[in-house]
Amino acid sequence: LDFGERKGQAERMLGLMDVFLKNDPISLQKDILHHVEYTVARSRFSFDDFEAYQALAHSVRDRLIERWHDTLIHFKKEDPKRVYFLSLEFLMGRSLSNIVINLGIRDQFADALSQLGFDFEVLAEQEGDACLGNGGLARLSACQMDSLATLDYPAVGYGLRYQYGLFRQVIVDGFQHEQPDYWLNFGNPWEIERVHITYPVKFYGTVTDEFLNGEKCKVWVPGEMVEAVAYDNPIPGYGTRNTINLRLWAAKPSDQHDMESFNTGDYVDAVVNRQRAESISSILYPDDRSYQGKELRLKQQYFFVSASVQDIFRRFKDTHKKFDEFPEKVALQLNDTHPSLAIAEVMRVLLDEEHLSWHRAWDIICKIFSFTTHTVSPEGLEKIPVDLLGNLLPRHLQIIYDINFNFVEELKKMIGLDYDRLTRMSIVEEGAVKNIRMANLSVICSHTVNGVSRLHSELLRTKLFKDFYDLWPHKFQYKTNGVTQRRWIVVSNPSLCALISKWLGTEAWIRDIDLLIGLRDYATNAELHQEWKMVKKVNKIRLAEYIEAMSGLKVSLDAMFDVQTKRIHEYKRQLLNILGIIHRYDCIKNMDKNDRKNVVPRVCIIGGKAAPGYEIAKKIIKLCHVVAERINNDNDIGDLLKLVFIPDYNVSVAEMVIPGADLSQHLSTAGHEASGTGSMKFLMNGCLLLATADGSTIEMVEEIGQDNMFLFGAKAHEVVALRKKGPTLKVPLQFSRVVRMIRDGHFGFEDYFKSLCDKIEGTSDYFLLGADFMSYLEAQAAADKAFVDEERWTKMSILSAAGSGRFSSDRTIQEYAENTWDIQPCRCPF
Ligand code: B1H
């Protein structure tokens, strides 16, 4: 059809459709029933909760798509500079509640459902979590997408659509077992498969020199080709029509490439071989720290980078001819080094496909990339063996070598022949195995390098990237992480949400978090105290019921709910917590009846996954279980102390645990947690923090004051000195005593725990559990003391929530937009 005919058709079609779907109770009920019958294909007289959830989700999805279309059209028309957020991990959790709340139609749907005889909350529980990430880094991406949409920024998220999310943790006899999370089994109503948005992604092969129009150029003849298919996940903002796109790529066999194998070989074998392509996007690597140098992981990285870069170029070329305009339209954000092959890929496209000169291409690179690192230690930096990279991506290796050559030449001019420094700063690490240092590549090629908290940034400038900081101080910034209050208060703690809105007299804080500070005015108001305590109680009941359903353990609501939930790591020191619990148990056992009256009852809750290959972390989980077994079955102790391990900690479990916590623990050895974001979620929910001065907690102290937190332990600069003391370091008797209890088999499995005990005694206590133990116990005692004084505790709780505004991802994203990406909001008209 020509344009005129097409326009006529479009107008006729529009006339056939309602302008927008309606949200009155009858329309919503009709829609849900329609989806029961035609989408879920169940009779409208007989469908269960899961089927009702599916129909509900599809009705919500329809409304989501309307806004998403409008937003994409609006962006296209306005053509603003966009930020492309590249991350290998997005931990979205459930979507339903988040989406209806952001669309502002939760209550309408709840009403419609109740008229159909269903409960919204019950149906929301039917949804499984999308766990396409490991921990903090991945949830941060999800929170930031929510803020990008809410603040109307023209952003696109890019990632991988793993078929298997993070493993499910099952506990058998106290040991962690991993089970596959084949999360797509029940369908995923939140994604839109775009069968026509596909790009070829090439691997292996050789590079040859050829002449094009008399100019020498490189031609990459790949050895394998797979297809990347787009799956779009609309992300709605709150209080805006803007709904942005999270585009996840799935690998499919390519039709173009294997004609030959079909012509020559065995047909069945050839088909089976094709299926291997899909393995690229099949599994999320479950280790959130160590890099194994595995080919499949490298393939994943390049696969998603290549598809995303092609997509970005296609969008740019739709409306622009000159590449000099590229930096005016494109900002590329690297979420850690995992997507940093994008640098070499953009360079390759500009040089080999768009035939720009090196000079022009490099000039563009230097203007478009920004890099955020989440790492603290040099061992945490990603390296890729040169052999591996050269084999899989021969042309990219050449480009990286060329970038490095130019960089080192420039560097020599600036710093002279300081070989030690040149060696440290080179992208290529020499040695028995030659490696590409992805962090150096990212720092060299990015205009901005961000840390995730102030302390982290300081460590980057003075340690990890000192050489680079001395060279380019202007590149280094930091954006303290934040989390979205939409998910972590509005969705997960509706009663607190209502309470805050009531006392602030407005819901505006949901978009404008700075208003939260207004709660300070009522920190001693008796009426608010009453209501605040009620809300906590409601959430504790919910958590207690969950604990009982899961483990059969009944816990007292009068006890302090003390929570430490996060990935299990030595540096996060769950072991310190468990040792503290053993100490508490030991003390109670040795008390007479009278003294026991003064003990503050506690329910200690620990949860988190250990990477499957991380032996010590798995032993910590087992230790937690044997200690729990002992304590919980000791009738002499009763409600004074309980210990619970919550299995399979994920986003939806967090949504239930966090609002129910009185106290939360963040125990990382100072200088080891880049930021920490769990603490922010607890803080927003009025949960008191017991923490070391590490990562973002330092900034929390500034917001809510030292009096409202239980701080303990060595400071980051002291840690270094303490380690140097090594063997001469004195550890307290109490510490030796609890470790001895484990060694002596008080909890059984003494042989199994020997290596764990060895790791924290003598010279090998790298994370300084012994050195911090007394200070930890003191902080715990202070928490007990505060808890008994209900009024004081409630005031501290209110002040925690009131002071949490700085830790909203809205603030983080605004800072990124203004100081790193240089992008403006682009608001879609209602
Ligand atoms: C953080 C990771 C991480 N830092 C490698 N690094 C991964 C590294 O799959 N991998 O290969 C996955 C994740 N994650 C965390 O990021 C920090 O430890 C936290 O302190 C920080 O709060 C969080 C978000 O910035």
Q: Is the CB of 513 under 6 A from ligand 1?
A: no
534 and 442, same structural domain? Answer: no
- Annotation marks residue 567 as catalytic: yes
201 and 328, same structural domain? Answer: yes
565 and 456, same structural domain? Answer: no
Confidence of residue 258 (pLDDT cuts 50, 70, 90): low
Confidence of residue 618 (pLDDT cuts 50, 70, 90): very high
For residue 319, pLDDT over 60 is answered with yes
Ligand 1 atom closest to the Cα of residue 291 is: 11
More confident residue, 8 or 309: 309
508 and 396, same structural domain? Answer: no
Confidence of residue 289 (pLDDT cuts 50, 70, 90): confident
Considering the candidates 461, 536, 567, 622, report the single residue annotated as catalytic.
567
Q: Tell which residue, 479, 471, 414, 394, has the closest CA to residue 440.
A: 471
Q: Could you list the residue range(s) of the whole structural domain that residue 141 is in? A: 79-94+129-480+817-821
Considering the candidates 257, 461, 475, 566, report the single residue annotated as catalytic.
566
Kindly report the number of other CB atoms within 10 A of residue 527's CB atom.
9
Count H helices and E strands in the chain, helices first. Answer: 34, 24
Confidence of residue 19 (pLDDT cuts 50, 70, 90): confident
CA 358 to chain centre: 36
Tell me if 41 is assigned to some domain.
no
Residue with CA closest to ligand 1 atom 14: 137
522 and 460, same structural domain? Answer: no
For residue 1, pLDDT over 60 is answered with no
Tell me how far apart the alpha carbons of residues 176 and 502 are, in angstroms, rounded to a whole number: 44
Q: Is the CB of 676 under 6 A from ligand 1?
A: yes
> Domain with 717 in it: what CATH number?
3.40.50.2000
DSSP 606-661: EE----TT-HHHHHHHHHHHHHHHHHHT-TTTGGGEEEEEESS--HHHHHHHGGG-
Tell me how far apart the alpha carbons of residues 588 and 196 are, in angstroms, rounded to a whole number: 66
Ligand 1 atom closest to the Cα of residue 284 is: 9
In this prediction, residues 395-402 reach a mean pLDDT of: 98
Taking the centre of ligand 1 as the mean of its atom positions, its distance from the CA of residue 377, in whole angstroms, is 12
290 and 159, same structural domain? Answer: yes
Considering the candidates 572, 583, 666, 672, report the single residue annotated as catalytic.
572
The total of structural domains in the chain comes to 2
What pLDDT, on a 0 to 100 scale, did the predictor assign at position 763?
A: 78
Judged by DSSP in three states, 484 sits in coil
Tell me if 297 is assigned to some domain.
yes
Q: Which of 374, 381, 675 to mutate to test the pocket of ligand 1 (most atoms within 8 A of CB)?
A: 374
Residue with CA closest to ligand 1 atom 4: 374
Q: Is the CB of 434 under 6 A from ligand 1?
A: no
What pLDDT, on a 0 to 100 scale, did the predictor assign at position 762?
A: 77
Q: Is the CB of 134 under 6 A from ligand 1?
A: yes
Tell me how far apart the alpha carbons of residues 67 and 73 are, in angstroms, rounded to a whole number: 10
Tell me how far apart the alpha carbons of residues 292 and 297 are, in angstroms, rounded to a whole number: 9
Tell me how far apart the alpha carbons of residues 153 and 158 are, in angstroms, rounded to a whole number: 15
501 and 472, same structural domain? Answer: no
In this prediction, residues 779-785 reach a mean pLDDT of: 98
Q: Are 742 and 753 in contact (CB under 8 A)?
A: yes
Q: Which of 137, 480, 677 to mutate to test the pocket of ligand 1 (most atoms within 8 A of CB)?
A: 137
In this prediction, residues 717-745 reach a mean pLDDT of: 92
Taking the centre of ligand 1 as the mean of its atom positions, its distance from the CA of residue 135, in whole angstroms, is 7
In this prediction, residues 489-493 reach a mean pLDDT of: 98
- Annotation marks residue 374 as catalytic: yes
Q: Is the CB of 136 under 6 A from ligand 1?
A: yes
Taking the centre of ligand 1 as the mean of its atom positions, its distance from the CA of residue 133, in whole angstroms, is 10
What pLDDT, on a 0 to 100 scale, did the predictor assign at position 3?
A: 61
Taking the centre of ligand 1 as the mean of its atom positions, its distance from the CA of residue 365, in whole angstroms, is 25
In this prediction, residues 259-267 reach a mean pLDDT of: 69
Strands 130-132 and 90-93, sheet pairing: antiparallel
Q: Which residue has the tokens 């806004």?
A: 67
For residue 630, pLDDT over 70 is answered with yes
DSSP 340-379: THHHHHHHHIIIIIS---HHHHHHHHHHHEEEE----SGG
Encode pLDDT of 657-712 as tens digits. 999 999 999 999 999 999 999 999 999 999 999 999 999 999 999 999 999 999 99
Tell me how far apart the alpha carbons of residues 279 and 704 are, in angstroms, rounded to a whole number: 48
532 and 415, same structural domain? Answer: no
Tell me if 121 is assigned to some domain.
no
Rg of the chain over Cα atoms, rounded to whole angstroms, equals 28
Tell me if 369 is assigned to some domain.
yes
Q: Is the CB of 300 under 6 A from ligand 1?
A: no
CA 528 to chain centre: 34
Kindly report the number of other CB atoms within 10 A of residue 293's CB atom.
16
What pLDDT, on a 0 to 100 scale, did the predictor assign at position 7?
A: 74
More confident residue, 716 or 258: 716
Q: Is the CB of 695 under 6 A from ligand 1?
A: yes
Q: Is the CB of 697 under 6 A from ligand 1?
A: no
What pLDDT, on a 0 to 100 scale, did the predictor assign at position 17?
A: 67
Ligand 1 atom closest to the Cα of residue 140 is: 24
DSSP 168-206: EEEEETTEEEEEEEEGGGG--TT-EEEEEEEEEEEES-E
Kindly report the number of other CB atoms within 10 A of residue 147's CB atom.
27
438 and 515, same structural domain? Answer: no
Q: Helix 341-348 crosses helix 358-368 at what angle (to 10 degrees)? A: 140
The secondary structure of 102-167, three-state, reads: HHCCHHHHHHHHHHCCCCHHHHHCCCCCEEECCCHHHHHHHHHHHHHHHCCCCEEEEEECCCEEEE
Tell me how far apart the alpha carbons of residues 435 and 533 are, in angstroms, rounded to a whole number: 56
For residue 580, pLDDT over 90 is answered with yes
Residue with CA closest to ligand 1 atom 7: 288
Ligand 1 atom closest to the Cα of residue 481 is: 25
Q: Is the CB of 289 under 6 A from ligand 1?
A: yes
Residue with CA closest to ligand 1 atom 3: 288
448 and 361, same structural domain? Answer: yes
Tell me if 491 is assigned to some domain.
no
Q: Is the CB of 481 under 6 A from ligand 1?
A: yes
Ligand 1 atom closest to the Cα of residue 456 is: 20
Judged by DSSP in three states, 662 sits in coil
Ligand 1 atom closest to the Cα of residue 677 is: 22
* Helix, strand and coil in the chain, % to nearest 5: 55, 15, 30
Taking the centre of ligand 1 as the mean of its atom positions, its distance from the CA of residue 136, in whole angstroms, is 6
CA dihedral for 170, 172, 178, 184, sign (positive or negative): negative
Q: Which of 167, 288, 438, 700 to mutate to test the pocket of ligand 1 (most atoms within 8 A of CB)?
A: 288
Q: Return the structure tokens found at 160.
A: 């991988």
Q: Return the structure tokens found at 214.
A: 């008399």
- Annotation marks residue 566 as catalytic: yes
Taking the centre of ligand 1 as the mean of its atom positions, its distance from the CA of residue 441, in whole angstroms, is 19
Share of the chain above pLDDT 70, in %: 98
Tell me how far apart the alpha carbons of residues 790 and 779 are, in angstroms, rounded to a whole number: 18
Taking the centre of ligand 1 as the mean of its atom positions, its distance from the CA of residue 551, in whole angstroms, is 30
- Annotation marks residue 681 as catalytic: yes
In this prediction, residues 553-582 reach a mean pLDDT of: 98
More confident residue, 114 or 10: 114
Considering the candidates 677, 697, 794, 820, report the single residue annotated as catalytic.
677
In this prediction, residues 494-503 reach a mean pLDDT of: 98
Q: Are 238 and 103 in contact (CB under 8 A)?
A: no
Taking the centre of ligand 1 as the mean of its atom positions, its distance from the CA of residue 675, in whole angstroms, is 9
564 and 419, same structural domain? Answer: no
Q: Is the CB of 668 under 6 A from ligand 1?
A: no
Tell me if 641 is assigned to some domain.
yes
Q: Is the CB of 482 under 6 A from ligand 1?
A: no
Q: Is the CB of 675 under 6 A from ligand 1?
A: yes
Q: Which residue has the tokens 């084949």?
A: 182
Ligand 1 atom closest to the Cα of residue 136 is: 23
What pLDDT, on a 0 to 100 scale, did the predictor assign at position 214?
A: 83
In this prediction, residues 552-575 reach a mean pLDDT of: 98
Q: Is the CB of 367 under 6 A from ligand 1?
A: no
Considering the candidates 63, 475, 583, 681, report the single residue annotated as catalytic.
681
Taking the centre of ligand 1 as the mean of its atom positions, its distance from the CA of residue 335, in whole angstroms, is 10
Ligand 1 atom closest to the Cα of residue 88 is: 9
Q: Is the CB of 452 under 6 A from ligand 1?
A: yes
* Lowest pLDDT segment from 18-32, 219-233, 361-375, 461-475: 18-32
605 and 466, same structural domain? Answer: no
Tell me if 384 is assigned to some domain.
yes
What pLDDT, on a 0 to 100 scale, did the predictor assign at position 273?
A: 81
What pLDDT, on a 0 to 100 scale, did the predictor assign at position 262?
A: 66
Taking the centre of ligand 1 as the mean of its atom positions, its distance from the CA of residue 673, in whole angstroms, is 9
Residue with CA closest to ligand 1 atom 10: 288
Encode pLDDT of 119-149 as tens digits. 999 999 999 999 999 999 999 999 999 999 9
Encode pLDDT of 183-217 as tens digits. 999 999 999 999 999 999 999 999 999 988 888 89
Tell me how far apart the alpha carbons of residues 460 and 464 are, in angstroms, rounded to a whole number: 5
Tell me if 767 is assigned to some domain.
yes
In this prediction, residues 731-758 reach a mean pLDDT of: 97
Taking the centre of ligand 1 as the mean of its atom positions, its distance from the CA of residue 609, in whole angstroms, is 14
What pLDDT, on a 0 to 100 scale, did the predictor assign at position 724?
A: 86
For residue 257, pLDDT over 70 is answered with no
Q: Is the CB of 809 under 6 A from ligand 1?
A: no
Ligand 1 atom closest to the Cα of residue 285 is: 9
Considering the candidates 161, 202, 374, 479, report the single residue annotated as catalytic.
374
What pLDDT, on a 0 to 100 scale, did the predictor assign at position 166?
A: 98
In this prediction, residues 485-491 reach a mean pLDDT of: 98
What pLDDT, on a 0 to 100 scale, did the predictor assign at position 216?
A: 86
What residue type is assigned to position 76 of the chain? Answer: K
